[in-house]
Amino acid sequence: MSGLAGFKHGKPAVEEPQEEFGNEDSLDEGPDVKFCPACFDHVEDLERYEPGGFHPVHLGDFYHGGQYKIIHKLGFGGFSTVWLARDNRSNTIVALKIVVAESSHEYKDLETLQELADKISGQITHDYLPCLLDHFWLDGPNGSHLCLVLSVLGPSLSQMSNRDRRLHPKVARRCALQTAQGVSDMHAKGICHGGNVYDAQNALVEC
């Protein structure tokens, strides 16, 4: 009965002591708390949308004086997000890579891509190596961000060939040949690829 709700075996129930919490200001003195919901496994770390971190991007946003309009999200990494954008000047589709603010001023990829553009020329370069089309700086709520405008590349070979499906041998041989030709052209101009270039995740198919 409801009248006995506070009793157990005929004795009054003993209330356990309640933990006292301080005011809201005291929460700022403790360790940082990160919110990582499991339903967001395939997105960038949402907690890095903070000063020094990612720049918040919305579909339909314009950048660089209205030249680039965001159309779709392509991907993300630990240091950047990549977006499909329309170049309104040339009426073409490009990939816009926005680097986190804290890494933008020391980001090595810009120097490498500029060196590739200066040192390498020819059909092999344009066909098999990524091309830097433009770059600019963006000032946002989380800091100053380096933005790289690149040619749009499609899925990686690892995405196209996995446990459920495999590349046709003829296609695989052609991809291996083109990768070797691109690396050879880089080496001939004194540029070395520092990563595992033959990793299927590093080889992308042009859209």
Q: How confident is the model at residue 67 (pLDDT cuts 50, 70, 90)?
A: very high
**pTM > 0.85: yes or no:** no
- pLDDT attached to residue 149: 96
Q: How confident is the model at residue 31 (pLDDT cuts 50, 70, 90)?
A: low
- Cβ–Cβ < 8 Å for 102, 111: no
Which helix (H) or strand (E) covers residue 145, if one does?
A: strand 143-150
Q: Supply φ then ψ for residue 171, to 5 degrees.
A: -70, -40
- Cβ–Cβ < 8 Å for 56, 49: yes
Nearest Cα residue to 57 out of 103, 101, 87, 98: 98
pLDDT greater at residue 109 or residue 89: 89
Does pLDDT of 193 surpass 90? no
Give the model confidence (pLDDT) of 158-179 as tens digits. Answer: 777 776 778 888 988 888 888 8
Q: How confident is the model at residue 187 (pLDDT cuts 50, 70, 90)?
A: confident
Q: How confident is the model at residue 3 (pLDDT cuts 50, 70, 90)?
A: very low
Residue 12's Cα: distance from chain center in Å?
60
- Domains in the chain, start-ordered, CATH in brackets? 46-151 (3.30.200.20), 155-206 (no CATH)
- pLDDT attached to residue 160: 78
Q: How confident is the model at residue 5 (pLDDT cuts 50, 70, 90)?
A: very low
Nearest Cα residue to 184 out of 197, 195, 172: 197
Q: How confident is the model at residue 92 (pLDDT cuts 50, 70, 90)?
A: very high
Reported as half-sphere exposure (CB side, CA atoms, 13 A), residue 52 has a value of: 4
Instruction: Give the span between the Cα atoms of 73 and 82, in whole angstroms.
Output: 6
Burial of 178 (0-12, 13-18, 19+ CB in 10 A): middle
Q: Which of 20-24, 85-89, 116-120, 122-126 has the highest mean pLDDT?
A: 85-89
Residue 170's Cα: distance from chain center in Å?
32
- Cβ–Cβ < 8 Å for 113, 130: yes
Q: For residue 37, which amino acid is it? A: P
